[in-house]
Chains A and B, each alone.
Chain A
Amino acid sequence: MNKKNGAHGIILFVIAAAILVIFLFPFWMVLINSSKGPFEITNDPLGLPTRWGELPGNIAKIWTSPNIQYQSSFFSSIVVTAGSLLLLNLLSAQAAWALVRTHSKASTLVFTAFVAAMVIPFQIVMFPLLSWFRAITQLTGIPLLRSFQGILLAYVGFGMSQSIFMFHGFIKSIPLELEEAATIDGCSRAGIFWRIVFPILKPIQATVLVLNGIWIWNDYLLPLLVLGKGNEIMTIPLAISNFAGAYVKQWDLIMTAILMAMVPVVIFFLFAQKAIIKGMVAGSIK
Protein backbone atom coordinates (compact mmCIF):
# COMPACT_ATOMS: atom_id res chain seq x y z
CA MET A 1 0.00 0.00 0.00
CA ASN A 2 2.70 2.41 1.07
CA LYS A 3 4.86 1.54 -1.87
CA LYS A 4 1.96 2.08 -4.24
CA ASN A 5 1.27 5.46 -2.69
CA GLY A 6 4.90 6.36 -3.14
CA ALA A 7 4.89 5.54 -6.84
CA HIS A 8 1.56 7.32 -7.17
CA GLY A 9 3.04 10.41 -5.52
CA ILE A 10 6.03 10.45 -7.84
CA ILE A 11 3.82 10.20 -10.92
CA LEU A 12 1.65 13.08 -9.68
CA PHE A 13 4.73 15.16 -9.00
CA VAL A 14 6.19 14.48 -12.45
CA ILE A 15 2.91 15.42 -14.14
CA ALA A 16 2.62 18.62 -12.10
CA ALA A 17 6.24 19.52 -12.77
CA ALA A 18 5.81 18.93 -16.53
CA ILE A 19 2.75 21.19 -16.63
CA LEU A 20 4.56 23.81 -14.59
CA VAL A 21 7.42 23.80 -17.10
CA ILE A 22 4.91 24.54 -19.87
CA PHE A 23 3.30 27.28 -17.76
CA LEU A 24 6.62 28.95 -17.00
CA PHE A 25 8.04 28.51 -20.51
CA PRO A 26 6.80 31.93 -21.73
CA PHE A 27 8.51 33.63 -18.77
CA TRP A 28 11.69 31.74 -19.60
CA MET A 29 11.48 32.88 -23.23
CA VAL A 30 11.18 36.50 -22.14
CA LEU A 31 14.10 36.18 -19.77
CA ILE A 32 16.59 34.52 -22.13
CA ASN A 33 15.63 36.56 -25.17
CA SER A 34 15.96 39.87 -23.35
CA SER A 35 19.68 39.27 -23.37
CA LYS A 36 20.12 38.76 -27.09
CA GLY A 37 20.84 41.00 -29.99
CA PRO A 38 18.60 41.19 -33.09
CA PHE A 39 20.64 38.53 -34.93
CA GLU A 40 20.84 36.05 -32.13
CA ILE A 41 17.15 36.22 -31.29
CA THR A 42 16.20 35.33 -34.89
CA ASN A 43 18.80 32.59 -35.29
CA ASP A 44 18.44 30.99 -31.91
CA PRO A 45 15.27 31.93 -30.01
CA LEU A 46 15.45 28.88 -27.73
CA GLY A 47 19.08 28.79 -26.64
CA LEU A 48 20.67 30.51 -23.71
CA PRO A 49 22.11 33.90 -24.62
CA THR A 50 25.79 33.83 -25.57
CA ARG A 51 26.36 36.89 -23.44
CA TRP A 52 24.17 37.83 -20.48
CA GLY A 53 26.00 41.15 -20.71
CA GLU A 54 23.62 42.11 -23.52
CA LEU A 55 20.84 42.53 -20.96
CA PRO A 56 22.00 45.80 -19.31
CA GLY A 57 22.51 47.30 -22.75
CA ASN A 58 18.99 46.34 -23.82
CA ILE A 59 17.58 47.67 -20.56
CA ALA A 60 19.39 50.96 -21.14
CA LYS A 61 17.89 51.17 -24.63
CA ILE A 62 14.37 50.66 -23.27
CA TRP A 63 15.05 53.02 -20.38
CA THR A 64 15.81 55.85 -22.79
CA SER A 65 13.54 54.91 -25.70
CA PRO A 66 11.33 57.85 -26.69
CA ASN A 67 8.58 55.44 -27.77
CA ILE A 68 8.24 53.68 -24.46
CA GLN A 69 9.12 56.51 -22.04
CA TYR A 70 9.76 53.82 -19.48
CA GLN A 71 10.31 56.04 -16.44
CA SER A 72 7.35 58.26 -17.06
CA SER A 73 5.12 55.31 -18.08
CA PHE A 74 6.03 53.42 -14.96
CA PHE A 75 5.31 56.50 -12.90
CA SER A 76 1.97 57.04 -14.67
CA SER A 77 0.99 53.41 -14.12
CA ILE A 78 1.75 53.76 -10.43
CA VAL A 79 -0.22 57.00 -10.14
CA VAL A 80 -3.22 55.63 -12.05
CA THR A 81 -3.28 52.30 -10.18
CA ALA A 82 -2.54 53.63 -6.69
CA GLY A 83 -4.85 56.62 -7.09
CA SER A 84 -7.74 54.51 -8.38
CA LEU A 85 -7.23 51.92 -5.64
CA LEU A 86 -7.19 54.54 -2.92
CA LEU A 87 -10.34 56.23 -4.20
CA LEU A 88 -12.16 52.98 -4.90
CA ASN A 89 -11.33 51.59 -1.49
CA LEU A 90 -12.38 54.64 0.54
CA LEU A 91 -15.36 55.75 -1.51
CA SER A 92 -16.84 52.28 -2.06
CA ALA A 93 -16.46 51.35 1.60
CA GLN A 94 -18.23 54.44 2.89
CA ALA A 95 -20.94 54.16 0.24
CA ALA A 96 -21.54 50.48 1.02
CA TRP A 97 -21.82 51.25 4.73
CA ALA A 98 -24.30 54.05 4.11
CA LEU A 99 -26.35 51.69 1.92
CA VAL A 100 -26.36 48.84 4.44
CA ARG A 101 -27.18 50.95 7.48
CA THR A 102 -29.93 53.03 5.90
CA HIS A 103 -33.30 51.39 5.32
CA SER A 104 -35.13 53.53 2.84
CA LYS A 105 -36.50 53.34 -0.69
CA ALA A 106 -33.65 55.52 -1.93
CA SER A 107 -31.11 53.17 -0.41
CA THR A 108 -32.61 50.06 -2.04
CA LEU A 109 -32.98 51.82 -5.36
CA VAL A 110 -29.38 53.05 -5.45
CA PHE A 111 -28.00 49.64 -4.50
CA THR A 112 -30.10 47.89 -7.15
CA ALA A 113 -28.88 50.37 -9.76
CA PHE A 114 -25.25 49.69 -8.80
CA VAL A 115 -25.68 45.93 -8.97
CA ALA A 116 -27.49 46.15 -12.30
CA ALA A 117 -24.61 48.23 -13.69
CA MET A 118 -22.23 45.31 -13.19
CA VAL A 119 -23.60 43.60 -16.32
CA ILE A 120 -22.87 46.59 -18.56
CA PRO A 121 -19.89 45.74 -20.77
CA PHE A 122 -17.33 48.48 -21.28
CA GLN A 123 -17.88 48.30 -25.04
CA ILE A 124 -21.32 49.88 -24.94
CA VAL A 125 -20.24 52.98 -23.00
CA MET A 126 -16.71 53.54 -24.29
CA PHE A 127 -17.42 55.67 -27.39
CA PRO A 128 -20.07 57.92 -25.80
CA LEU A 129 -17.79 58.28 -22.74
CA LEU A 130 -15.21 59.97 -24.93
CA SER A 131 -17.60 62.46 -26.48
CA TRP A 132 -19.19 63.13 -23.08
CA PHE A 133 -15.79 63.77 -21.47
CA ARG A 134 -14.90 66.08 -24.33
CA ALA A 135 -18.15 67.98 -23.88
CA ILE A 136 -17.53 68.38 -20.15
CA THR A 137 -14.07 69.72 -20.84
CA GLN A 138 -15.44 72.27 -23.30
CA LEU A 139 -18.01 73.33 -20.74
CA THR A 140 -15.85 73.53 -17.62
CA GLY A 141 -12.29 73.79 -18.92
CA ILE A 142 -11.26 70.75 -16.83
CA PRO A 143 -9.46 68.28 -19.10
CA LEU A 144 -10.81 64.76 -18.64
CA LEU A 145 -9.21 63.11 -21.67
CA ARG A 146 -5.43 62.61 -21.56
CA SER A 147 -5.43 63.57 -17.88
CA PHE A 148 -5.02 61.81 -14.56
CA GLN A 149 -8.28 63.15 -13.13
CA GLY A 150 -10.20 61.80 -16.14
CA ILE A 151 -8.86 58.27 -15.94
CA LEU A 152 -9.22 58.20 -12.14
CA LEU A 153 -12.85 59.22 -12.48
CA ALA A 154 -13.34 56.49 -15.10
CA TYR A 155 -11.79 53.79 -12.92
CA VAL A 156 -13.89 54.81 -9.92
CA GLY A 157 -17.00 54.66 -12.10
CA PHE A 158 -16.19 51.28 -13.65
CA GLY A 159 -14.82 49.67 -10.48
CA MET A 160 -17.24 50.95 -7.86
CA SER A 161 -20.17 48.60 -8.50
CA GLN A 162 -18.25 45.42 -7.80
CA SER A 163 -16.32 46.99 -4.91
CA ILE A 164 -19.49 48.29 -3.25
CA PHE A 165 -21.11 44.90 -3.76
CA MET A 166 -18.25 43.16 -1.97
CA PHE A 167 -18.14 45.68 0.90
CA HIS A 168 -21.94 45.50 1.18
CA GLY A 169 -21.87 41.74 1.74
CA PHE A 170 -19.17 42.05 4.37
CA ILE A 171 -20.72 44.96 6.31
CA LYS A 172 -24.05 43.14 6.55
CA SER A 173 -22.33 40.55 8.73
CA ILE A 174 -20.99 43.12 11.23
CA PRO A 175 -23.21 43.28 14.34
CA LEU A 176 -25.00 46.59 14.79
CA GLU A 177 -24.39 46.62 18.59
CA LEU A 178 -20.85 47.87 18.03
CA GLU A 179 -22.09 50.98 16.28
CA GLU A 180 -24.92 51.53 18.76
CA ALA A 181 -22.50 51.52 21.66
CA ALA A 182 -20.38 54.14 19.93
CA THR A 183 -23.47 56.31 19.32
CA ILE A 184 -24.28 56.24 23.04
CA ASP A 185 -20.70 57.26 23.75
CA GLY A 186 -21.35 60.36 21.67
CA CYS A 187 -19.57 59.38 18.46
CA SER A 188 -20.86 61.17 15.37
CA ARG A 189 -22.37 59.28 12.42
CA ALA A 190 -19.34 59.78 10.18
CA GLY A 191 -17.04 59.13 13.11
CA ILE A 192 -18.65 55.74 13.67
CA PHE A 193 -17.76 54.69 10.16
CA TRP A 194 -14.19 55.95 10.05
CA ARG A 195 -13.23 54.98 13.60
CA ILE A 196 -15.23 51.82 14.24
CA VAL A 197 -16.33 50.21 10.97
CA PHE A 198 -13.55 51.00 8.52
CA PRO A 199 -10.80 49.25 10.52
CA ILE A 200 -12.96 46.10 10.75
CA LEU A 201 -13.15 46.00 6.95
CA LYS A 202 -9.46 45.13 6.51
CA PRO A 203 -9.89 41.59 5.09
CA ILE A 204 -12.41 42.67 2.48
CA GLN A 205 -10.32 45.75 1.69
CA ALA A 206 -7.47 43.43 0.81
CA THR A 207 -9.72 41.56 -1.60
CA VAL A 208 -10.99 44.74 -3.21
CA LEU A 209 -7.47 46.13 -3.58
CA VAL A 210 -6.08 42.96 -5.14
CA LEU A 211 -8.92 42.47 -7.62
CA ASN A 212 -8.94 46.10 -8.73
CA GLY A 213 -5.15 46.30 -8.66
CA ILE A 214 -4.56 43.45 -11.10
CA TRP A 215 -7.31 44.75 -13.36
CA ILE A 216 -6.20 48.38 -13.45
CA TRP A 217 -2.45 47.71 -13.70
CA ASN A 218 -2.93 45.48 -16.75
CA ASP A 219 -5.88 47.25 -18.36
CA TYR A 220 -5.36 48.30 -21.96
CA LEU A 221 -8.61 49.40 -23.61
CA LEU A 222 -9.68 52.08 -21.12
CA PRO A 223 -6.28 53.84 -21.02
CA LEU A 224 -6.06 53.50 -24.80
CA LEU A 225 -9.30 55.46 -25.15
CA VAL A 226 -8.99 57.94 -22.28
CA LEU A 227 -5.23 58.58 -22.40
CA GLY A 228 -4.37 57.56 -25.97
CA LYS A 229 -1.10 56.18 -27.35
CA GLY A 230 1.97 58.36 -27.64
CA ASN A 231 0.66 61.19 -25.48
CA GLU A 232 2.19 62.66 -22.39
CA ILE A 233 0.56 60.21 -19.98
CA MET A 234 0.95 56.54 -20.92
CA THR A 235 0.51 53.47 -18.75
CA ILE A 236 2.87 50.49 -19.15
CA PRO A 237 0.53 48.46 -21.42
CA LEU A 238 0.04 51.52 -23.63
CA ALA A 239 3.78 52.12 -23.77
CA ILE A 240 4.53 48.50 -24.67
CA SER A 241 1.96 48.50 -27.42
CA ASN A 242 3.26 51.84 -28.68
CA PHE A 243 6.78 50.43 -28.72
CA ALA A 244 5.86 47.10 -30.31
CA GLY A 245 3.93 48.96 -32.98
CA ALA A 246 6.87 51.19 -33.77
CA TYR A 247 9.47 48.43 -33.98
CA VAL A 248 7.56 45.39 -35.16
CA LYS A 249 10.66 43.31 -35.79
CA GLN A 250 12.89 44.31 -32.86
CA TRP A 251 11.96 41.33 -30.76
CA ASP A 252 15.04 41.54 -28.56
CA LEU A 253 13.99 44.97 -27.36
CA ILE A 254 10.31 44.08 -27.15
CA MET A 255 11.25 41.16 -24.90
CA THR A 256 13.36 43.46 -22.73
CA ALA A 257 10.48 45.92 -22.45
CA ILE A 258 8.15 43.08 -21.47
CA LEU A 259 10.67 41.81 -18.94
CA MET A 260 10.83 45.26 -17.39
CA ALA A 261 7.05 45.38 -17.24
CA MET A 262 6.79 41.90 -15.71
CA VAL A 263 9.50 42.00 -13.07
CA PRO A 264 7.87 44.53 -10.71
CA VAL A 265 4.58 42.61 -10.83
CA VAL A 266 6.21 39.22 -10.21
CA ILE A 267 8.26 40.62 -7.30
CA PHE A 268 5.12 42.13 -5.83
CA PHE A 269 3.39 38.76 -6.21
CA LEU A 270 6.18 36.89 -4.43
CA PHE A 271 5.80 39.18 -1.43
CA ALA A 272 2.01 39.36 -1.30
CA GLN A 273 1.28 35.94 -2.76
CA LYS A 274 -1.05 34.70 -0.01
CA ALA A 275 -3.14 37.86 0.14
CA ILE A 276 -3.38 38.02 -3.64
CA ILE A 277 -4.55 34.45 -4.14
CA LYS A 278 -6.98 34.65 -1.24
CA GLY A 279 -8.27 37.98 -2.46
CA MET A 280 -8.81 36.82 -6.05
CA VAL A 281 -10.75 33.75 -4.96
CA ALA A 282 -12.83 35.53 -2.33
CA GLY A 283 -13.71 38.23 -4.83
CA SER A 284 -14.94 35.78 -7.44
CA ILE A 285 -17.12 33.82 -5.06
CA LYS A 286 -18.91 36.86 -3.64
Chain B
Amino acid sequence: MRAKRDHALVFWLFLAPVLFAFVMVLVVPFVLGFWYSFTSWSSDARDLSGIHFRGLSNYVVSLKDPAFLYSFLITSGYTLVNMVVVNVVSFGLALLVTSRLKGRNFFRAGFFVPNLIGGLILGYVWQFIFNSAIPELGVFFGIKAWADPNNLMLARSFPALIAIVIAGTWQYAGYIMMIYVAAIENVPVELHEAAQIDGAGPFRRLVAITLPMASQAFTITLFLTLVNSFKQFDVNISLTAGGPSTIFMGKPIFGTELLAMNIYNTAFRSDYLAEGQARAVIFFVVLAIVATIQVYANKKREIEL
Protein backbone atom coordinates (compact mmCIF):
# COMPACT_ATOMS: atom_id res chain seq x y z
CA MET B 1 0.00 0.00 0.00
CA ARG B 2 2.80 2.37 0.93
CA ALA B 3 4.66 1.44 -2.24
CA LYS B 4 1.61 2.25 -4.34
CA ARG B 5 1.20 5.65 -2.74
CA ASP B 6 4.88 6.25 -3.20
CA HIS B 7 4.57 5.35 -6.89
CA ALA B 8 1.74 7.83 -7.46
CA LEU B 9 3.56 10.54 -5.54
CA VAL B 10 6.75 10.13 -7.58
CA PHE B 11 4.67 10.06 -10.79
CA TRP B 12 3.24 13.51 -10.11
CA LEU B 13 6.47 14.88 -8.66
CA PHE B 14 8.40 13.84 -11.77
CA LEU B 15 5.75 15.27 -14.07
CA ALA B 16 5.20 18.51 -12.18
CA PRO B 17 7.95 20.62 -13.81
CA VAL B 18 7.08 19.75 -17.42
CA LEU B 19 3.37 20.03 -16.72
CA PHE B 20 3.98 23.50 -15.34
CA ALA B 21 5.95 24.53 -18.45
CA PHE B 22 3.35 22.88 -20.70
CA VAL B 23 0.49 24.84 -19.17
CA MET B 24 2.41 28.13 -18.98
CA VAL B 25 3.84 28.12 -22.50
CA LEU B 26 1.44 26.07 -24.59
CA VAL B 27 -1.98 25.44 -23.06
CA VAL B 28 -2.80 28.90 -21.73
CA PRO B 29 -1.42 30.83 -24.75
CA PHE B 30 -3.13 28.40 -27.13
CA VAL B 31 -6.54 28.92 -25.52
CA LEU B 32 -5.97 32.67 -25.08
CA GLY B 33 -4.95 32.85 -28.74
CA PHE B 34 -8.27 31.53 -29.99
CA TRP B 35 -10.11 33.98 -27.74
CA TYR B 36 -7.96 36.96 -28.76
CA SER B 37 -8.55 36.25 -32.44
CA PHE B 38 -12.23 37.13 -31.96
CA THR B 39 -11.58 40.36 -30.06
CA SER B 40 -10.25 43.90 -30.45
CA TRP B 41 -6.93 42.95 -28.80
CA SER B 42 -4.21 45.51 -29.60
CA SER B 43 -1.17 47.04 -27.99
CA ASP B 44 -3.39 49.78 -26.52
CA ALA B 45 -5.85 47.27 -25.12
CA ARG B 46 -3.55 44.54 -23.91
CA ASP B 47 -5.23 43.62 -20.66
CA LEU B 48 -8.25 41.39 -20.62
CA SER B 49 -10.36 44.25 -19.27
CA GLY B 50 -9.73 46.63 -22.16
CA ILE B 51 -10.75 44.40 -25.06
CA HIS B 52 -14.14 43.55 -26.45
CA PHE B 53 -15.61 40.80 -28.58
CA ARG B 54 -15.61 41.44 -32.32
CA GLY B 55 -16.88 38.14 -33.69
CA LEU B 56 -15.42 36.99 -36.96
CA SER B 57 -14.41 40.42 -38.19
CA ASN B 58 -10.63 39.81 -37.78
CA TYR B 59 -10.96 36.74 -39.96
CA VAL B 60 -13.10 38.49 -42.56
CA VAL B 61 -10.71 41.44 -42.80
CA SER B 62 -7.73 39.10 -43.09
CA LEU B 63 -9.28 37.02 -45.84
CA LYS B 64 -10.09 40.19 -47.78
CA ASP B 65 -6.58 41.61 -47.44
CA PRO B 66 -4.62 41.23 -50.71
CA ALA B 67 -1.33 41.06 -48.77
CA PHE B 68 -2.54 38.06 -46.77
CA LEU B 69 -3.96 36.28 -49.81
CA TYR B 70 -0.77 36.96 -51.71
CA SER B 71 1.28 35.59 -48.80
CA PHE B 72 -0.85 32.49 -48.81
CA LEU B 73 -0.35 32.06 -52.52
CA ILE B 74 3.42 32.48 -52.54
CA THR B 75 3.84 30.42 -49.37
CA SER B 76 1.97 27.53 -51.00
CA GLY B 77 4.08 27.84 -54.13
CA TYR B 78 7.27 28.23 -52.14
CA THR B 79 6.43 25.19 -49.99
CA LEU B 80 5.71 23.03 -53.02
CA VAL B 81 8.85 24.04 -54.93
CA ASN B 82 11.02 23.89 -51.82
CA MET B 83 9.77 20.40 -50.94
CA VAL B 84 10.59 19.14 -54.41
CA VAL B 85 13.99 20.85 -54.68
CA VAL B 86 15.20 19.95 -51.19
CA ASN B 87 14.14 16.33 -51.52
CA VAL B 88 15.51 15.83 -55.04
CA VAL B 89 18.85 17.41 -54.09
CA SER B 90 19.01 15.49 -50.79
CA PHE B 91 18.17 12.17 -52.38
CA GLY B 92 20.73 12.75 -55.12
CA LEU B 93 23.37 13.60 -52.53
CA ALA B 94 22.39 10.54 -50.50
CA LEU B 95 22.84 8.28 -53.55
CA LEU B 96 26.19 9.91 -54.18
CA VAL B 97 27.54 9.43 -50.65
CA THR B 98 26.27 5.86 -50.37
CA SER B 99 27.91 4.87 -53.68
CA ARG B 100 31.47 3.58 -53.92
CA LEU B 101 32.74 7.11 -53.49
CA LYS B 102 36.16 7.73 -52.02
CA GLY B 103 36.04 9.83 -48.85
CA ARG B 104 32.31 9.32 -48.34
CA ASN B 105 32.32 10.35 -44.68
CA PHE B 106 34.18 13.53 -45.47
CA PHE B 107 31.60 14.47 -48.11
CA ARG B 108 28.72 13.61 -45.81
CA ALA B 109 30.07 15.92 -43.13
CA GLY B 110 30.74 18.63 -45.71
CA PHE B 111 27.21 18.57 -47.10
CA PHE B 112 25.85 18.58 -43.55
CA VAL B 113 27.76 21.58 -42.16
CA PRO B 114 25.39 24.30 -43.48
CA ASN B 115 22.70 22.77 -41.28
CA LEU B 116 24.53 24.07 -38.23
CA ILE B 117 24.14 27.65 -39.39
CA GLY B 118 20.92 29.30 -38.33
CA GLY B 119 18.46 30.64 -40.91
CA LEU B 120 18.93 34.22 -39.83
CA ILE B 121 22.70 34.25 -40.24
CA LEU B 122 22.75 32.31 -43.49
CA GLY B 123 20.18 34.70 -44.94
CA TYR B 124 22.64 37.57 -44.58
CA VAL B 125 25.43 35.52 -46.14
CA TRP B 126 23.27 34.67 -49.14
CA GLN B 127 22.06 38.25 -49.45
CA PHE B 128 25.70 39.21 -49.93
CA ILE B 129 26.21 36.37 -52.40
CA PHE B 130 23.21 37.28 -54.54
CA ASN B 131 23.88 41.01 -54.49
CA SER B 132 27.68 41.12 -54.70
CA ALA B 133 29.21 37.75 -55.52
CA ILE B 134 26.91 36.60 -58.34
CA PRO B 135 27.43 39.73 -60.52
CA GLU B 136 31.19 39.38 -60.02
CA LEU B 137 31.03 35.70 -60.89
CA GLY B 138 29.10 36.73 -64.00
CA VAL B 139 31.90 39.06 -65.03
CA PHE B 140 34.50 36.43 -64.22
CA PHE B 141 32.88 33.64 -66.23
CA GLY B 142 31.53 35.97 -68.91
CA ILE B 143 27.88 35.18 -68.11
CA LYS B 144 26.10 38.37 -69.16
CA ALA B 145 22.80 37.56 -67.42
CA TRP B 146 24.56 37.32 -64.05
CA ALA B 147 26.72 40.35 -64.54
CA ASP B 148 23.86 42.69 -65.46
CA PRO B 149 22.93 44.71 -62.32
CA ASN B 150 19.32 44.88 -63.55
CA ASN B 151 19.16 41.11 -63.20
CA LEU B 152 19.87 40.86 -59.47
CA MET B 153 17.83 37.98 -58.09
CA LEU B 154 16.71 39.88 -55.02
CA ALA B 155 15.50 42.83 -57.06
CA ARG B 156 12.37 41.13 -58.37
CA SER B 157 9.77 39.13 -56.43
CA PHE B 158 9.76 35.85 -58.29
CA PRO B 159 13.54 35.40 -58.54
CA ALA B 160 13.81 36.54 -54.92
CA LEU B 161 11.51 33.69 -53.89
CA ILE B 162 13.74 31.31 -55.84
CA ALA B 163 16.66 32.80 -53.90
CA ILE B 164 14.94 31.80 -50.64
CA VAL B 165 14.57 28.28 -52.05
CA ILE B 166 18.29 28.18 -52.90
CA ALA B 167 19.39 29.42 -49.47
CA GLY B 168 16.92 27.11 -47.72
CA THR B 169 18.06 24.11 -49.76
CA TRP B 170 21.67 24.86 -48.98
CA GLN B 171 20.83 24.81 -45.29
CA TYR B 172 18.49 21.85 -45.16
CA ALA B 173 19.65 19.41 -47.85
CA GLY B 174 22.48 17.93 -45.77
CA TYR B 175 20.11 17.06 -42.95
CA ILE B 176 17.49 15.43 -45.18
CA MET B 177 20.35 13.68 -47.00
CA MET B 178 21.38 12.04 -43.72
CA ILE B 179 17.88 10.61 -43.27
CA TYR B 180 18.00 9.16 -46.79
CA VAL B 181 21.49 7.80 -46.16
CA ALA B 182 20.23 5.91 -43.10
CA ALA B 183 17.34 4.49 -45.15
CA ILE B 184 19.50 3.50 -48.13
CA GLU B 185 22.05 1.81 -45.90
CA ASN B 186 19.28 -0.20 -44.28
CA VAL B 187 18.47 -1.92 -47.58
CA PRO B 188 19.90 -5.45 -47.37
CA VAL B 189 22.86 -5.91 -49.72
CA GLU B 190 21.48 -9.33 -50.73
CA LEU B 191 18.55 -7.66 -52.47
CA HIS B 192 20.88 -5.70 -54.72
CA GLU B 193 23.07 -8.71 -55.37
CA ALA B 194 20.13 -10.91 -56.28
CA ALA B 195 18.76 -8.26 -58.63
CA GLN B 196 22.15 -7.76 -60.20
CA ILE B 197 22.43 -11.48 -60.92
CA ASP B 198 18.99 -11.28 -62.52
CA GLY B 199 20.43 -8.63 -64.82
CA ALA B 200 18.95 -5.47 -63.28
CA GLY B 201 21.00 -2.33 -64.01
CA PRO B 202 21.66 0.47 -61.50
CA PHE B 203 18.61 2.49 -62.56
CA ARG B 204 16.27 -0.50 -62.43
CA ARG B 205 17.58 -1.37 -58.96
CA LEU B 206 17.06 2.21 -57.81
CA VAL B 207 13.41 2.18 -58.91
CA ALA B 208 12.59 -1.38 -57.89
CA ILE B 209 14.57 -1.73 -54.66
CA THR B 210 15.95 1.49 -53.16
CA LEU B 211 12.91 3.74 -53.65
CA PRO B 212 10.32 1.33 -52.20
CA MET B 213 12.61 0.31 -49.35
CA ALA B 214 13.11 3.98 -48.44
CA SER B 215 9.40 4.77 -48.42
CA GLN B 216 9.28 5.23 -44.65
CA ALA B 217 12.05 7.79 -44.95
CA PHE B 218 10.01 9.67 -47.57
CA THR B 219 7.11 10.00 -45.13
CA ILE B 220 9.45 11.64 -42.63
CA THR B 221 11.36 13.86 -45.04
CA LEU B 222 8.25 15.08 -46.85
CA PHE B 223 6.60 15.90 -43.54
CA LEU B 224 9.69 17.71 -42.24
CA THR B 225 10.21 19.73 -45.42
CA LEU B 226 6.50 20.57 -45.64
CA VAL B 227 6.29 21.93 -42.10
CA ASN B 228 9.63 23.71 -42.31
CA SER B 229 8.90 25.38 -45.63
CA PHE B 230 5.46 26.47 -44.54
CA LYS B 231 6.86 28.04 -41.36
CA GLN B 232 9.85 29.70 -43.07
CA PHE B 233 10.65 32.95 -41.28
CA ASP B 234 14.33 33.42 -40.44
CA VAL B 235 15.74 33.22 -43.97
CA ASN B 236 12.85 35.35 -45.21
CA ILE B 237 13.69 38.08 -42.68
CA SER B 238 17.41 38.29 -43.34
CA LEU B 239 17.55 37.46 -47.06
CA THR B 240 14.73 39.55 -48.53
CA ALA B 241 12.99 41.16 -45.53
CA GLY B 242 9.82 40.76 -47.58
CA GLY B 243 10.98 42.96 -50.44
CA PRO B 244 10.90 44.01 -53.20
CA SER B 245 7.39 45.40 -53.37
CA THR B 246 4.90 44.36 -55.98
CA ILE B 247 1.28 45.00 -56.94
CA PHE B 248 -1.41 42.43 -56.17
CA MET B 249 -5.16 42.96 -56.63
CA GLY B 250 -4.44 46.64 -57.19
CA LYS B 251 -2.61 47.11 -53.90
CA PRO B 252 1.13 47.61 -53.38
CA ILE B 253 2.44 44.88 -51.10
CA PHE B 254 5.61 43.04 -50.11
CA GLY B 255 6.64 40.73 -52.92
CA THR B 256 8.30 38.00 -50.86
CA GLU B 257 6.43 38.17 -47.59
CA LEU B 258 5.76 34.55 -46.63
CA LEU B 259 2.94 33.71 -44.22
CA ALA B 260 4.95 33.59 -41.00
CA MET B 261 6.34 37.02 -41.78
CA ASN B 262 2.94 38.38 -42.78
CA ILE B 263 1.54 37.24 -39.42
CA TYR B 264 4.41 38.86 -37.57
CA ASN B 265 4.22 42.12 -39.52
CA THR B 266 0.44 42.34 -39.17
CA ALA B 267 0.74 42.05 -35.42
CA PHE B 268 3.72 44.31 -34.81
CA ARG B 269 4.40 46.56 -37.77
CA SER B 270 0.77 47.34 -38.41
CA ASP B 271 -0.10 46.96 -34.73
CA TYR B 272 -3.17 44.79 -35.39
CA LEU B 273 -2.43 42.16 -32.76
CA ALA B 274 -5.86 40.55 -32.89
CA GLU B 275 -5.78 40.37 -36.67
CA GLY B 276 -2.29 38.88 -36.60
CA GLN B 277 -3.62 36.30 -34.17
CA ALA B 278 -6.56 35.47 -36.44
CA ARG B 279 -4.09 34.91 -39.29
CA ALA B 280 -2.03 32.66 -37.01
CA VAL B 281 -5.16 30.60 -36.32
CA ILE B 282 -5.84 30.25 -40.06
CA PHE B 283 -2.18 29.35 -40.55
CA PHE B 284 -2.42 26.66 -37.87
CA VAL B 285 -5.62 25.14 -39.24
CA VAL B 286 -4.31 24.98 -42.82
CA LEU B 287 -0.96 23.52 -41.74
CA ALA B 288 -2.64 20.92 -39.52
CA ILE B 289 -5.00 19.83 -42.32
CA VAL B 290 -2.32 19.65 -45.02
CA ALA B 291 0.18 17.86 -42.77
CA THR B 292 -2.43 15.31 -41.65
CA ILE B 293 -3.53 14.57 -45.22
CA GLN B 294 0.08 14.24 -46.31
CA VAL B 295 1.11 11.86 -43.52
CA TYR B 296 -2.08 9.84 -44.04
CA ALA B 297 -1.46 9.56 -47.80
CA ASN B 298 2.17 8.61 -47.28
CA LYS B 299 1.32 5.95 -44.71
CA LYS B 300 -1.17 4.47 -47.15
CA ARG B 301 1.44 4.48 -49.90
CA GLU B 302 3.95 2.87 -47.54
CA ILE B 303 1.62 -0.04 -46.90
CA GLU B 304 0.81 -0.51 -50.57
CA LEU B 305 4.47 -0.79 -51.49
Contacts and interface: CB of A to CB of B under 8 A. Distances in A.
Interface stretch (A65-73, A169-177, A278-286): A278-286
B18 A218 contact: no
Given A19-B111, A29-B133, A94 B14 contact: yes
B29 A128 contact: yes
B304 interface: no
Interface residues of A, number: 91
Nearest to A157: B25
A157 B284 contact: no
A253 B304 CA distance: 55
A246 interface: no
Interface in A212-245: 214, 217-221, 237, 240-241, 244
B120 A237 contact: yes
Contact of B179 (A193, A214, A285): A285
Given A46-B133, A131-B32, A220-B237, A277 B109 contact: yes
Given A29-B125, A265-B116, A125 B29 contact: yes
A41 B15 CA distance: 55
A110 B100 contact: no
A104 to B, nearest CB: 8
B54 to A, nearest CB: 16
Given A12-B96, A15-B96, A127-B280, A218 B111 contact: no
Nearest to A136: B24
Interface in B20-45: 21-22, 24-26, 28-30, 32-33, 36, 41
Given A125-B25, A127-B273, A95 B18 contact: yes
Nearest to B281: A124
Contacts of B264: 221
Given A13-B102, A258-B124, A273 B109 contact: yes
B203 to A, nearest CB: 14
Interface stretch (B3-11, B64-72, B143-151, B155-163): B3-11
Nearest to B273: A127
B22 A160 contact: yes
Interface in A160-199: 160-161, 164, 188-190, 193
Interface centre among A153, A157, A158 (most CB of B within 10 A): A157
B96 A16 contact: yes
Interface string B67-108: 000000000000000000000000001001101111100011
Contacts of A134: 46
B128 interface: yes
A46 B124 contact: no
A127 B276 contact: yes
Would you list the 6 A-B pairs with minimal beta carbon distance, nearest first? A157-B25, A218-B118, A128-B32, A98-B14, A125-B29, A128-B29
Given A98-B15, A255-B125, 14 more contacts: A23-B174, A26-B122, A26-B125, A46-B133, A98-B11, A124-B284, A127-B273, A128-B29, A131-B36, A134-B46, A153-B21, A189-B9, A218-B118, A281-B181
Interface of A: 5, 8-9, 12-13, 15-16, 19-20, 23-27, 29-30, 33, 41-42, 44-46, 87, 91-92, 94-95, 97-99, 102, 104, 106-107, 110, 113-114, 117, 119-129, 131-132, 134-136, 153-154, 156-158, 160-161, 164, 188-190, 193, 214, 217-221, 237, 240-241, 244, 251, 254-255, 258, 261-262, 265-266, 269, 273, 277, 280-281, 284-285
Interface of B: 6-11, 13-15, 17-19, 21-22, 24-26, 28-30, 32-33, 36, 41, 46-48, 93, 96-97, 99-103, 107-122, 124-126, 128-129, 132-133, 136-137, 140, 170, 174-175, 178-179, 181-182, 217, 220, 224, 227, 231, 233-234, 237-238, 260, 263-264, 267, 273, 276-277, 280-281, 283-284, 287-288, 291
20 contacts: A12-B96, A12-B101, A19-B111, A46-B140, A91-B18, A95-B17, A98-B11, A99-B15, A106-B11, A107-B11, A121-B231, A128-B29, A131-B46, A132-B28, A156-B17, A156-B21, A220-B234, A240-B124, A241-B120, A254-B128
